[in-house]
Structure 1
Amino acid sequence: MTTIRRRVARTLALPVAAVLVLLAVVVAIEARGYARAASAARAVSHVLAVQDLVQELQTERGLAAGLLGGNAGFRAELAPARARVDERRTRLDRLVTGPLDALDGVRISTDAATISRASAFGFYTARINDLSRIDTDLDGAGDTELRRGASALRALGDAKEAIAQERAFLNGVFSAGGFRKGEFLQFVTMRSAKDAALATFTRYATPEQRASADYVFGTGAGQVARHFEDLALASGDGRDLQVNPQSWWSAHTTVLDDLLRLEQHVGSVISVRAETLRDQATRRMIGLGVIVLLCVAGAIWLAVAASRSIARPLASLAARADELSQSQLPSAVRQVAAGAEVDAPDFEPPVGATREVQAVAAAFDRVQRTAYALATEQAQLRRGTTDSLADLGRRHQNLLRRQLGLITRLEREEADPAGLADLFELDHLATRMRRNAESLLVLVGATGPRPGFEPVPVEDVVRAAVAEVEEYRRVTLRRIDEVRLAGTAASAVAHLLAELIENGLAFSSPEVDVELQGRLVGDRYLIAVVDQGIGMTGADLDEANRRLRGEGDFLTAPARYLGHYVVGRLARDLGAEVVLTPSPVTGVTARVVLPAALIVAEPALPPITVEYLPAPAPAPAALPQQRPAPMAEGDVARTPNGLPRRPPRAPRVTRLHAAPGPADLSPDETRSRLTAFRSGVARGARSEEPQT
């Protein structure tokens, strides 16, 4: 079963996922820009380091050219220049391992003068070109300013290389005293490459960088270098050049040093730009990350808030409805059923609920008011029904009392045995009718407190129960342990047993008896009503035991189960337990467990006065007959039903007080006396039969 939160989460899942994907793409783009900026910063550092190495190689190349040109004065400067080259080479070992592999051999050949000036110049120039062509990926930078700075830096490096070549080349020319064949053309080519590189630098450089370059070439050293260049250009016809190579070298070296500083400045500008781009990319990524987190957190918060705004009022509404349906409404209905005037409980919507939830609350309020109206109407109808049933039961009870009183008077006046037998049968029917009236009062809870009597032997209670069923001749009494029950509970126990016995007889074959047994188990008394009838299924037994526990409503149950509800109400009032279980072979056994509170200890018997009355006339044939198979247990003779057999003599009447007149007898006393009288007549009839 889905919930509101899950549905809200599903609703927000797609847009949140789309936002996250877009933000992820933007973050990826920014991350790539950050990587490019960081790579550009590293590339600038590498370029500047390579240019430092190139600067020192250019110096070593010029000194080597001058030395090979015949100027031995450059030998002293060559060793420090080589040391600086080696130092910078060590710093960039991973980048320059290949280009400078043969440098040591050229140096040895230079010192031994076994290599020509042109060959040495060509070697150094080739190595410098290789270093200048190392790919640092500055051209792939995404920023325009960064790309322009990289182009300006590269053009400046090319111009510086052309100037360094010119310095080295003319250093050799000046040391040799003039151009040799083909060397003037090389010089012009170097001059043209320098001018082209400077033009490229001017196109990409910033105004400040162009001003710095102009300043470098306008210094004294720059002017001296330009003067020597003009002298070299003027000697293209092969004339001798009388120029001090040391002055040329010093002037051009100063210019190259200034250009190196300018190159480092341009590189630092590029590096600062790259760092700026990297910082910007970092801030953007952090900002985007914060935005992503805020979006996710916002989506979660919106989902939770939306679900809570719906779920909480609904949960409060459900809790309020449960409280109303389980507590307030049943309580109000019970009060109405008891006769009180109670209004329907109010149902207020949750605080802060939306209009939709308020509409649901209003609809539920209408539903509960309708339910309350129907429930109160049903409660009033039920109360009216139970009152009517109670009144009807009391009317029947009063009529039956009068009828039983009339029958008792007629029995006293009747001398004919046949007429007396008919009166006994009529008395039996009236007794059963009175039990039905009492059952009706039990069902509606109108029995009222029972009058107190002396404790009654349990066998008398069992006999009274058997006497109240129609087919009492099919009831067999087995062993009944002798105990005394509280007088206030005797009639209720007899009523309960009569219902169970009649139920067992109704569902048994006519030729099969229902057996009764009674056992004292600990401080409780167990009575078992065993039939051998059609039996019940497990589900039917469970449902029947539920009714015997007092659960359910007899007004809504089928009429055939009214006996179960009567037994359940009686058992609840007595504190007894009634359970139906399958019989050993077939049928059902009703187990009635009477609590210890209903069992009375045997008191010491006071002295009594015994008066023997004349033996009554023989009983008519219609009276209940006991089965002829007596049972003996110990030294006490017992009847076929298992009860102690009294000696065959005239009935004994024990009076502790003066015998009350007929008008003083209550219905229960009248019933008890009739039962005792009928039992005495039956014993008298059996005493005349031969004993086996």
Structure 2
Amino acid sequence: MRFRNASVRAKITALIVSLTCLWAFAAWVTLREGANLLWAATVNGSVIDPSEPLLVELQRERRLTLARLGAGASEEDRALRDQRAKTDGLRATFEESASGTVAEFAMDDVLLQRVSEVKAQLTQLAATRKAIDAGRADLSQAAARYNGLIDAFYRMYDSVAEFDDKEVAKDGRTLNDIHRSREMFAREDALLAGVFAKGGFTPAEHAEFVKAAGVFDYTLNEQLPKLPAEDRADFDGWLKSAPVTRVQAMETQLIRHDPATDQLPVSGEEWRRSAEPMLSTMQTVTLAGGDRLLERITPVAVGVIVRLILAGGLGLFAVVASIVLSITTSRQLLAQLRKLRDAAHELSDRRLPSVVERIGHGEEVDVAKEAPALDFGDDEIGQVGQAFNTVQRTAISVAAEQAELRRSIRDILLSLARRTQGLVHRQLTVLDVMERRETDPEELKELFRLDHLAIRMRRNAENLIVLSGSAPARTWRRSVPMVDVVRGALAEVEDYTRVTLMPMGDVVLVGRAVGDVIHLLAELIENAVSFSPPYTNVQVSGQLVANGYVIEIEDRGLGMKPEDLQAANARIADPPEFRITGTARLGLYVVSQLARRHDIQVVLKASPYGGTTVVVLLPQELVQLDPSPEPQDDDGRERLPRRQPGAAAGAAAATATRQVPSGNVRTLRQVRPGPLPADMPGASAPVTDPVRQEAETTTAPPPAPSETPADPEQQPVAEFTPSGLPLRVPQANLAPALRDENPTQPDIEEDDDERSPEEIRAMMGSLQSGTRLGRSRAAEMMDDQPGGEA
């Protein structure tokens, strides 16, 4: 599977490597025989040839040494001294030749070990000579030491690599065995030299002589039938020669000799005159057989060289030609594929995004111009290129259709969101009118709950507007205190009673960012409340910093994994393109869009108390110091203004007003977001949203202030939630005339200048009711006008 997924270059390289390996194997099969010839010639010239004369001289030194020990001479004779000097000269030549770099490279590990053993034995030769000269070694000990040294030479011969030709290898082993049988006769001759020197056998020496003679006869007779015909004829002639026949006769006499008798049947001179020619002629016949073996090897070597030239040379030429052809073909193929790859990247990275962006901006796109045909030739790659031309035309067409479809879907979402937003605004207006008319505390509580749900519906509609790439319709021209901005966000959160609002400072937010900041904070606070246990609180705090204004939202929930925090921060910092499918967390996308619109930084991090802390950094150009800060309570927590009984109308009329053309007066009203949950303290009390301001147009004159509030010391003290929001006191805002179930109408006197307080109260109540009715009618007229839903 890995090779199947490899690149074209890797596959071609693998093909070339496999072809080269195949050629190398075929060449090595032929080259191995040639290498064997070369190494055999190197070993023969560096090791074998220098060792054979040394071996012969060692055999002669052994014979002279045993003869001297047998004669009992105490001083070294001249013949032995000359022999030792000749042996040392050949030893130096052998060691120098066998220690060469070429020779060591030609030898295998076994042969290297055997050569090292021979060198070690030669190093001990000087100690052996000293022991013999000092009389510390007898005849048998001296023979054993020389035999061990010579046996090391024959083990070295046995380790020489054989030739691959079976017949040649068999003849070579036969000649080596015959050469070793010569060593057995040389041991026999050396033993007899000592015996003749001392004049008789000991039983042990006689047994050793019989053993050596038997081994010689056995090995020679065993190997002679294995020789080729020409070599066998030479050895047969050697066996019939006079020295050999005399030696065989004397061996028979000496074998039958009784060691207990004093007289030997053969003299030492008779044995030497026959034994030395026998050893010399046997060496000559053996070397002649080796020369003939080399002559037989020569044609085989020539054939190996010819095969090597044919297989290696022609195969190498074929491999080189294949490599050149593969490289040129792969270059052309890769160039075409690279061109096709670049065209695909250009299509995916530049053309398609450009087409989608231009269509998103409403431009017309010419598919033929955006997808020009590319020429890749007429070969197989060219056919793939033609298919790619078709693919890119289809891709651009589909991209254009998909971009148009996404734009249409966004337009639909925007239209539905605008319609929903308009309906929610009208619903809020109707709810506000009903709240102002309602006097029953229970019914008023339910109306406040509907009011709160409508506010949340409005935020969901605005989410669709943000997702469609547009801006919500809510805008402010005047700056709003930061505490009111956060309260406005709390008004759009379902479980707002769990939010603790800390001091926000005397800071105002510029009007152009109020709506988006409220929306952004509402999404973040809603997320904090939703993903934390219901028994915990969410803390919201703010303060001025060097770079602007920071709002921190901290919950005590389960928190997020580090990789999820990193992904969320990356999503907020660089929001991806919104897609209809695959968007699980729309809140983060809405937050990222709102934050990017005003260059607001939003960062999520782990809270040390458990849960998650959201840091919102508003830039300096969006915040200002409040010239008229709202007073605070003794504990430093900001509170909403306390509501006075009967002051609802006056508070609504006291909001900021401005004149508009045609004599209309556009007033700003405050809408309550809804009640607390029914099972919580103060559930019937509404929460005032100081920043949810909606324009209303009316032709009625500005309402007169409501009646003067009573003494503040006699007013009921308003209670507050843990987050600083006031709890509603039932019937606290009702007119005094409505508090009694059976109000009594005072007698109206004819003198208008002497009206009683009850009459003034009744008149002000009528004025207040008329003002409410006028505002309601004006709101309905404004909703009925074209474009009122926007």
TM-score, normalised by the number of residues in structure 2: 0.44
Q: Is the radius of gyration larger for structure 1 or structure 2?
A: 1
